[in-house]
Amino acid sequence: MCGKRHKCSFSRLEVVLIVLLALMIAVTVALLVLHFLTQENSSSNDNDDPLPTQKPTNGVSGGYLLGAGRADCTGPVAEIPLMGYANPDQVGGGLLTRLYSRAFIMAEPNSSKRVVFVSIDIGMVSQRLRLEVLKKLKSKYGELYRQDNVILSGTHTHSGPGGYFQYTLFWFTSKGLIKPSLDAIVKGIVKSIDIAHQNLKRGRLFINRGTVENSQINRSPYSYLQNPAYEKSRYSSNTDKEMVILKMVDENGHDLGLISWFAVHPVSMNNTNRLVNSDNVGYASLLFEQEKNKGMLTGEGSFVAAFASSNLGDVSPNTKGPFCVNTGESCDNPQSTCPVGGAAMCMAMGPGTDMFDSTRIIGQNIYSKAKELYANASQEITGPLSSAHQWVNMSDVQVELNATHTVKTCKPALGYSFAAGTIDGVGAFNFTQGSVEGDPFWDQIRDQLLGQPSNETKACHEPKPVLFSTGEVRAELGVHSGKCWSALLKRSPYQHCASLHGEGQGPRESCGDAEGMVEWHWAQVGTPWAGGLCSDPACGRTNVPCWPRAVPGDGGYLPPVPCPQGQPTPQEGLFPQGPQRWSPTTASPFPGECAVPGTNSALSLLNSPKS
Which active-site residues does the annotation give? 316
Do residues 238 and 221 touch, judged by C-beta distance below 8 A?
yes
Gap between the Cα atoms of 165 and 178, Å rounded = 9
Is 405 among the annotated ligand-binding positions? no
**Residue type (1 letter), 105:** I
Give the closest residue to 157 by CA, choosing from 305, 70, 269. 269
Compute the distance between CA of residue 516 and CA of residue 513 in angstroms, rounded to an integer: 6
Residues 6+ apart with CB under 8 A from 537: 527
* 6 assigned ligand-binding residue: no
Query: Amino acid identity, residue 421?
Result: G
Instruction: Name, in order, each residue with C-beta under 8 angstroms of 421's C-beta and a sequence gap of 6 or more.
Output: 85, 86, 343, 427, 431, 433
Burial category of 281 from C-beta neighbours within 10 Å (exposed 0-12, middle 13-18, buried 19 and up): buried
Residues 563, 537: Cα–Cα separation, whole Å: 10
- How many residues does this entry show for the chain? 611
Helices (H) and strands (E) in the chain, counts: 13, 30
Report whether 566 contacts 597 (CB < 8 A): no
| CA geometry: angle 463, 466, 469, nearest 5 deg | 135
Burial 584-607 (b: 16+ CB within 10 A, else e): beeebbbeebbbbbbbbbbbbbbb
Q: How far apart are CA 234 and CA 224, in angstroms?
A: 13
Distance between CA 114 and CA 567 in Å, rounded?
Answer: 32
Contact present, 79 and 174 (Cβ < 8 Å): no
Cβ atoms of residues 284 and 367 within 8 Å: yes
- Contact yes or no for 76/161 (Cβ under 8 A): yes
Using DSSP bridges, classify how beta strands 150-154 and 114-120 pair: parallel, antiparallel or unpaired. parallel
φ, ψ at 460 (rounded to 5°): -70, -35
Name the strand (E) or helix (H) holding 43: helix 12-46
Range list of β-strands (E), 505-554? 529-530, 533-536, 541-545, 547-548
For 46, the 3-state DSSP assignment is helix
Q: How far is it, in rounded angstroms, from Cα 150 to Cα 77?
A: 28
* 65: β partners: 107, 202
Please, are residues 304 and 354 in contact by the beta-carbon 8 Å criterion? no
Taking phi over 0 as left and psi of -120 to 50 as alpha, with beta for the rest, 205 belongs to: beta
Known binding-site positions: 156, 265
